[in-house]
Amino acid sequence: MTSDKPTNPFEAMMRQSQEMAETWVKAVNPALANMSPLGFDKAWPTVPADMLEMFMGKQFNPQGLDAKTRLLLTLMGLTIQGAQAEAQVRLTVRHAIEAGASSQEVAETIAMAALFGGVPAMNKAMDLAKEVIDGEKE
- The per-residue pLDDT string of the chain (138 residues; one tens digit each, 9 = 90 and over) reads 556 666 777 788 888 888 888 887 777 777 766 766 666 667 677 777 888 877 777 777 788 889 999 999 999 999 999 867 888 999 999 999 999 999 999 999 999 999 999 999 999 999 999 999 998 665
Residues 22 and 52 in one domain: no
Amino acid letter, residue 123: N
Cβ atoms 91, 110 nearer than 8 A: no
Question: What whole-number distance in Å separates Cα of residue 71 and Cα of residue 74?
Answer: 5
Q: How far is CA 36 from CA 41, 61, 131, in A?
A: 12, 39, 18
Residues 44 and 97 in one domain: yes
pLDDT for res 11: 83
Torsion 53-55-57-62 (CA) sign: positive
Residues 116 and 68 in one domain: yes
Residues 70 and 103 in one domain: yes
pLDDT for res 128: 94
pTM for the predicted model, two decimal places: 0.68
pLDDT for res 39: 65
For the chain, the residue count is 138
CA 2 to chain centroid, in Å, comes to 43
Counting the structural domains of the chain, the total is 2
- Phi, psi at residue 85, to the nearest 5°? -95, 75
Residues 86 and 104 in one domain: yes
Identify the domain containing residue 30 by its residue range: 1-35
CATH code of residue 109? 1.20.1290.10
